[in-house]
Copies of this chain bind each other. A is one copy, B any other.
Amino acid sequence: MRGAVIHGPGDVRLENRPDPAVTAPTDAVVRTVATCVCGSDLWKYRGIAAVPAPRPIGHEYVGVVEAVGDAVTTVAPGDFVVGGFLHSDGTCSVCRHGQQANCLHGGGYDGCQAEVIRVPNADGTLLATPGQPDDDLVPSLLALSDVMCTGWHAAVCAGVQAGSSVVVVGDGAVGLSGVLAAAQLGATTIVAMSRHADRQALAREFGATHVVAERGADGLAAVRELTDGIGADCVLECVGTEEARAQAVACARPGGMVGLVGVPHGDLPTEEMFWANKGVRGGPAPVRAYLPHLLDLVWRREIDPGRVFDLALPLAEVAEAYAAMDERRAIKVLLRP
């Protein structure tokens, strides 16, 4: 089967790789129906994260189960499934707290930008759809594999609830998903910080009540003008750079919470946080914890998180998918094997 391999900065290739097989009784083998490129993949593509040797890449997928190990009971060959960007056993003491991203026996995959993948811990990782999905639902189902659940995690960690004021820092696929999550959770003021017209438009469709294009002190002033002069109850940090994290903390009101989901590439202003009683919480999203609710919303077409995909390409064009995201010609690229 064919799968994407990153060889170094700017160099992703589709290659022939060994066919995955069930190697443990808890495994499933899934033939992908769609996969995609993540903002976090770009850290490697841009040379910011090291790639010491060629390695398979990608961690988002939906597909159809081809085979399962003897111990797998919740999914079967033929099922259409969604899984998160990390696998989890669903039974350890950490998973039982709904923190599947930190499962004691979990981990990553051997590259999901591929035609066929092996999913360890299938029962604790995969969720089958109620039936075979209509093709137009595939992008939204794929979005659940990472970005929608990650945006949701940011909103949950920031404590968004009915009536909250929310600022979303970052207008990539995760930030836009965070806007959608905040709206679903009942926020009444949702400020999307975005400088790109297309992303601003999607943010508004997802529920943003305001858009702030400025950053830094000007951005903070604009946010305060929309939030009673003091900042927002909840801020979703969906970038990870030191500047974005500082902006997020600044935009929270005293006593407010910042949900962190941007992969951290910089520190936090912990002293400022303390004196202003601003909290932070977040990390890798426990996708499996959120899947039942969000899959239901997608299946009933109440949310359409797949709209973050503004380009779809064949898997064979994976190199172009990376280039398009790197050059910001696309928010997020869906790949079809």
Binding site for B on A (CB under 8 A): 93-94, 97-99, 101-102, 104, 157, 228-230, 233, 253-255, 257, 260, 264, 267-268, 270-271, 273-284, 286
Contact = CB atoms under 8 A, between A and B. Distances in A.
Contact of A284 (B102, B271, B275, B282): B275
A99 B283 contact: no
Given A279-B281, A283-B277, A264 B270 contact: yes
A160 to B, nearest CB: 14
Contacts of A102: 254-255, 276-277
A98 B253 CA distance: 12
A270 B260 CA distance: 11
Contact of A94 (B255, B267, B275, B279): B255
Contacts of A228: 93
5 shortest interchain CB distances as A-B pairs: A279-B281, A102-B254, A277-B283, A99-B255, A93-B228
A277 B230 contact: no
A282 B274 contact: yes
Contact of A270 (B99, B104, B257, B267): B267
A101 B233 CA distance: 16
B230 A279 contact: no
Contacts of A255: 94, 97-99, 102, 286
21 contacts: A93-B228, A93-B229, A94-B230, A94-B254, A97-B254, A99-B255, A99-B277, A101-B254, A102-B276, A102-B277, A104-B230, A257-B281, A264-B274, A267-B267, A267-B270, A276-B283, A277-B281, A277-B282, A279-B282, A280-B281, A281-B281
